[in-house]
Amino acid sequence: KKQHNALKALGLEPNFKEDPEGFTCHLSFTISNFSNKPQKNNDASPFTFFMWIPIKQTTGNFFEENFEVKGGEFVFLDDSRVIKFSGFNGILECAWKVTAYSHLTLPSNTPSISLHTCMGLSCQFPKKTQVALEKIKQNVYAKDPDKRHWGIRDINKIISDSSSDKQK
Protein backbone atom coordinates (compact mmCIF):
# COMPACT_ATOMS: atom_id res chain seq x y z
CA LYS A 1 0.00 0.00 0.00
CA LYS A 2 2.87 2.37 0.86
CA GLN A 3 4.48 1.74 -2.55
CA HIS A 4 1.15 2.25 -4.29
CA ASN A 5 0.69 5.62 -2.60
CA ALA A 6 4.28 6.65 -3.39
CA LEU A 7 3.54 6.06 -7.08
CA LYS A 8 0.55 8.43 -6.75
CA ALA A 9 -1.45 5.86 -8.70
CA LEU A 10 -5.17 6.22 -9.00
CA GLY A 11 -7.70 4.01 -7.28
CA LEU A 12 -9.53 1.56 -9.49
CA GLU A 13 -13.09 2.92 -9.70
CA PRO A 14 -15.40 4.11 -12.50
CA ASN A 15 -13.97 7.61 -12.96
CA PHE A 16 -10.43 6.83 -11.78
CA LYS A 17 -10.51 9.49 -9.07
CA GLU A 18 -7.51 9.52 -6.79
CA ASP A 19 -8.36 7.44 -3.77
CA PRO A 20 -5.97 7.22 -0.79
CA GLU A 21 -7.47 3.83 0.09
CA GLY A 22 -7.54 2.58 -3.52
CA PHE A 23 -5.37 -0.01 -5.15
CA THR A 24 -4.70 -0.53 -8.84
CA CYS A 25 -3.25 -3.74 -10.16
CA HIS A 26 -3.19 -6.01 -13.13
CA LEU A 27 -4.47 -9.58 -12.94
CA SER A 28 -3.04 -12.24 -15.23
CA PHE A 29 -4.35 -15.77 -15.54
CA THR A 30 -2.70 -18.94 -16.84
CA ILE A 31 -4.25 -22.36 -17.41
CA SER A 32 -3.74 -25.75 -19.08
CA ASN A 33 -0.09 -26.75 -19.00
CA PHE A 34 1.23 -23.18 -19.06
CA SER A 35 5.00 -22.72 -19.17
CA ASN A 36 7.31 -19.83 -19.95
CA LYS A 37 10.94 -18.88 -20.49
CA PRO A 38 13.24 -17.41 -17.83
CA GLN A 39 12.39 -13.81 -17.03
CA LYS A 40 12.96 -11.03 -14.53
CA ASN A 41 10.05 -8.60 -14.60
CA ASN A 42 10.53 -4.85 -14.69
CA ASP A 43 7.16 -3.80 -13.26
CA ALA A 44 6.31 -0.49 -11.61
CA SER A 45 5.79 -2.38 -8.35
CA PRO A 46 8.68 -4.62 -7.33
CA PHE A 47 6.47 -7.37 -5.84
CA THR A 48 4.09 -9.91 -7.36
CA PHE A 49 1.53 -12.13 -5.67
CA PHE A 50 0.68 -15.44 -7.33
CA MET A 51 -1.77 -18.28 -6.65
CA TRP A 52 -1.84 -21.76 -8.19
CA ILE A 53 -5.30 -23.28 -7.98
CA PRO A 54 -6.00 -26.92 -8.91
CA ILE A 55 -9.24 -27.09 -10.91
CA LYS A 56 -11.32 -29.48 -12.96
CA GLN A 57 -11.05 -28.59 -16.68
CA THR A 58 -14.71 -29.26 -17.44
CA THR A 59 -16.19 -27.08 -14.68
CA GLY A 60 -13.43 -24.80 -13.40
CA ASN A 61 -14.31 -25.96 -9.89
CA PHE A 62 -11.62 -26.16 -7.22
CA PHE A 63 -10.21 -29.68 -6.92
CA GLU A 64 -8.41 -30.71 -3.73
CA GLU A 65 -7.80 -34.47 -3.76
CA ASN A 66 -5.63 -36.74 -5.93
CA PHE A 67 -4.50 -33.93 -8.21
CA GLU A 68 -3.18 -35.54 -11.43
CA VAL A 69 -1.05 -32.75 -12.99
CA LYS A 70 2.67 -33.58 -12.91
CA GLY A 71 5.55 -31.16 -13.44
CA GLY A 72 4.96 -27.46 -14.03
CA GLU A 73 7.37 -26.51 -11.25
CA PHE A 74 7.96 -22.82 -10.58
CA VAL A 75 11.71 -22.12 -10.49
CA PHE A 76 13.67 -19.22 -8.99
CA LEU A 77 16.82 -19.43 -11.10
CA ASP A 78 19.11 -17.17 -9.03
CA ASP A 79 18.66 -19.24 -5.87
CA SER A 80 18.07 -22.66 -7.46
CA ARG A 81 14.78 -22.87 -5.53
CA VAL A 82 11.82 -24.83 -6.87
CA ILE A 83 8.15 -24.94 -5.91
CA LYS A 84 6.79 -28.39 -6.78
CA PHE A 85 3.05 -28.75 -7.23
CA SER A 86 2.75 -32.52 -7.06
CA GLY A 87 2.08 -34.06 -3.68
CA PHE A 88 -0.11 -31.37 -2.18
CA ASN A 89 -3.83 -30.78 -2.12
CA GLY A 90 -5.02 -27.20 -2.12
CA ILE A 91 -4.15 -23.70 -3.23
CA LEU A 92 -0.56 -22.50 -3.20
CA GLU A 93 0.17 -18.80 -2.64
CA CYS A 94 3.48 -17.04 -3.21
CA ALA A 95 4.74 -13.45 -3.10
CA TRP A 96 8.21 -12.40 -4.16
CA LYS A 97 10.31 -9.49 -5.35
CA VAL A 98 9.72 -10.01 -9.05
CA THR A 99 12.19 -7.29 -10.08
CA ALA A 100 15.04 -9.03 -8.24
CA TYR A 101 14.61 -12.73 -9.07
CA SER A 102 14.64 -14.51 -12.42
CA HIS A 103 11.91 -17.11 -12.61
CA LEU A 104 10.16 -19.51 -14.97
CA THR A 105 7.45 -22.15 -15.06
CA LEU A 106 8.49 -25.55 -16.40
CA PRO A 107 6.17 -27.51 -18.73
CA SER A 108 3.70 -29.80 -17.02
CA ASN A 109 2.13 -33.00 -18.23
CA THR A 110 -1.29 -34.24 -17.39
CA PRO A 111 -2.41 -37.79 -18.18
CA SER A 112 -4.57 -37.71 -21.32
CA ILE A 113 -7.58 -39.11 -19.45
CA SER A 114 -7.32 -36.55 -16.64
CA LEU A 115 -9.70 -33.62 -16.30
CA HIS A 116 -7.36 -31.73 -13.96
CA THR A 117 -5.39 -28.58 -14.67
CA CYS A 118 -3.80 -25.79 -12.70
CA MET A 119 -5.02 -22.21 -12.97
CA GLY A 120 -2.53 -19.51 -12.08
CA LEU A 121 -3.44 -16.00 -11.00
CA SER A 122 -0.88 -13.23 -10.58
CA CYS A 123 -1.32 -9.69 -9.36
CA GLN A 124 1.23 -6.99 -10.19
CA PHE A 125 1.46 -3.35 -11.21
CA PRO A 126 3.05 -3.30 -14.71
CA LYS A 127 4.71 -0.21 -16.17
CA LYS A 128 2.11 -0.19 -18.99
CA THR A 129 -0.62 0.25 -16.37
CA GLN A 130 1.38 3.03 -14.73
CA VAL A 131 1.68 4.81 -18.12
CA ALA A 132 -2.07 4.43 -18.74
CA LEU A 133 -2.85 5.89 -15.31
CA GLU A 134 -0.54 8.83 -16.00
CA LYS A 135 -2.45 9.47 -19.25
CA ILE A 136 -5.71 9.43 -17.30
CA LYS A 137 -4.33 11.86 -14.70
CA GLN A 138 -3.19 14.20 -17.51
CA ASN A 139 -6.57 13.94 -19.30
CA VAL A 140 -4.87 12.62 -22.44
CA TYR A 141 -7.89 10.47 -23.26
CA ALA A 142 -10.43 13.23 -22.59
CA LYS A 143 -8.49 15.72 -24.75
CA ASP A 144 -8.30 13.34 -27.72
CA PRO A 145 -11.61 13.38 -29.64
CA ASP A 146 -10.19 11.03 -32.30
CA LYS A 147 -9.43 8.45 -29.59
CA ARG A 148 -5.92 7.81 -30.98
CA HIS A 149 -4.69 6.94 -27.48
CA TRP A 150 -7.44 4.46 -26.75
CA GLY A 151 -6.47 0.83 -26.46
CA ILE A 152 -8.20 -2.45 -25.88
CA ARG A 153 -7.99 -2.10 -22.08
CA ASP A 154 -9.42 1.42 -21.73
CA ILE A 155 -12.02 0.99 -19.00
CA ASN A 156 -14.16 3.99 -19.96
CA LYS A 157 -14.54 2.64 -23.49
CA ILE A 158 -15.41 -0.81 -22.15
CA ILE A 159 -18.01 0.68 -19.79
CA SER A 160 -19.39 2.95 -22.50
CA ASP A 161 -19.65 0.10 -25.00
CA SER A 162 -21.31 -2.22 -22.50
CA SER A 163 -23.79 0.51 -21.54
CA SER A 164 -24.72 1.17 -25.16
CA ASP A 165 -25.23 -2.59 -25.71
CA LYS A 166 -27.73 -2.66 -22.83
CA GLN A 167 -29.72 0.16 -24.41
CA LYS A 168 -30.13 -1.68 -27.75
Give me the domains of the chain, ranges plus CATH numbers.
25-125 (2.60.120)
Tell me the sheet residues that pair with 1.
none
What does pLDDT average to over the chain? 74
Beta strand extents in the chain (DSSP E only)? 26-30, 47-56, 70-71, 74-76, 81-83, 92-97, 103-105, 108-109, 116-124
H-run or E-run covering 6: helix 2-6
Q: What is the mean pLDDT of residues 72-81?
A: 86
Q: Are 5 and 121 in contact (CB under 8 A)?
A: no
> What is the predicted pLDDT for the residue at 98?
82
The pTM for the full model equals 0.59
- State residue 132's pLDDT score: 76
